[in-house]
Amino acid sequence: MSGPTPPPLPPDLELLLRHMHLPYMRRMAPEVLATARAQRWDPAEVLKVLLGEEVAGRERSALATRRAQAAFPTGKTFSTWDANLSSIPAPTQTALGTLEWIGRHENLVVCGPSGTGKTFFLEGLGQLAVEAGLKVAWFRLEELGVLVRRHRADDSVTKAVQAILRAKLIVVDDIGLLPVSPDAAEGFFRLVDAAYEKRSVAVSSNVHPAGFDELMPKTLATATVDRLLHHAHINVFNELRPPVH
C-alpha cells in the first residue's frame, strides 16, 4: 500500500498492543486502519486483517529462527538445484522432498564421490523441512567429536545428545572425507543410537555405510550402521550429468 503516511496510533492503543506483545499488528495497524477508514471496511474485516498480520509475522520470525538454529552450511535451497544434473532419479528426489520419511522417523544415507551434490541435496531437504515447520540440526561429523569432548568432562554427553533430539531431522555431513577421530565416532554412535526409531538422521558420506568399519573401530561401526540402516533410504550419488543444451 502506498500514499501519504498514515496517522500514528492513539497512544493508549499503541500501549495495549505493546502490552499484549502484538508487534506485527502494531507495526501494520496505522496503515491498515487508514485503509479501512478510506474504504469503509466491515469491522470484522479490520480485525481479520490485523490478526492475519500478526500470525504471518510470527510465522516469518519462527521460520527465520529455525533456519538460523539449523546452521546450514551454505544457505542454498532447491530453488537453484537442477534435478536433471543429479544422478538421483527424479521420482526419488520427489519422494524424499515430500518429507514423509521424516514423519516416519526413517533415515537417509547419501553416498558417493566428492562434488556429486550430496551436501546440496541434504541442505535442500533441510530447508524444505524448516519451511514445513520442522526443527533441523546440522553437523559435520567432526563437530560431533567436539561435542563429545566438551561434554565428557562433566559427564553430560547423554544430555547434550538428548538436546539434539529436539530436532526432527539431524544431518551429519561429510563422513569419510577426513579421518574419523575416536570422539567423532563415539558421538556419531550415540546420536544414531539415541535417534533410533525416534528421529530421522540424514548422513552424507564418500564411503558406503558397508565400508564404515574402515573409518572407525569395527564394533562401533557395526552397531552404528545396524541402527542407521534398519529403516533407511540409501541413495548412491554418481558424477553430475552433463547439462543438456
Query: What residue ranges bind Mg ion (CB under 5 A)?
Result: 119
Residue nearest to ligand ATP (CB): 117
Interface pick for ligand ATP out of 49, 85, 146, 165 (rule CB under 6 A): 85
Place of cell 566428492: 114
| 85, interface contact from Mg ion, ligand ATP, none, CB < 5-8 Å by kind | ligand ATP
- Give the span between the Cα atoms of 27 and 54, in whole angstroms: 9
Which range, of 8-16, 78-86, 101-109, 220-228, touches ligand ATP by CB under 6 A?
A: 78-86
Which range, of 12-20, 62-70, 116-124, 217-225, touches ligand ATP by CB under 6 A?
A: 116-124
Of 172, 225, 167, the closest CA to residue 199 belongs to 167
Q: Does 35 contact ligand ATP by CB under 6 A?
A: no
Q: Does 207 contact ligand ATP by CB under 6 A?
A: no
Give the number of residues in contact with ligand ATP, rule: CB under 6 A: 15
- Give the span between the Cα atoms of 135 and 167, in whole angstroms: 5
Residues 134 and 102: beta-carbon distance below 8 Å: yes
- Give the span between the Cα atoms of 180 and 27, in whole angstroms: 51
DSSP character at residue 176: T
Interface pick for ligand ATP out of 25, 72, 119, 235 (rule CB under 6 A): 119
Q: Does 115 contact ligand ATP by CB under 6 A?
A: yes
Q: What are phi and psi of 6, to 5 degrees?
A: -70, 155
Helix (H/G/I), strand (E/B), else coil: 170: strand
What's the closest the beta carbon of residue 90 comes to ligand ATP, in angstroms? 11
Q: Does 140 contact ligand ATP by CB under 6 A?
A: no
In sequence order, what are the residues at sequence separation of 6 or more whose Cβ sits closer than 8 angstroms to the Cβ of residue 111? 118, 204, 205, 206, 207, 208, 209, 234, 235, 236, 237
Q: Does 240 contact ligand ATP by CB under 6 A?
A: yes
Q: Does 65 contact ligand ATP by CB under 6 A?
A: no
Could you list the residues that contact ligand ATP (CB under 6 A)?
A: 81-82, 85-86, 114-120, 174, 204, 206, 240
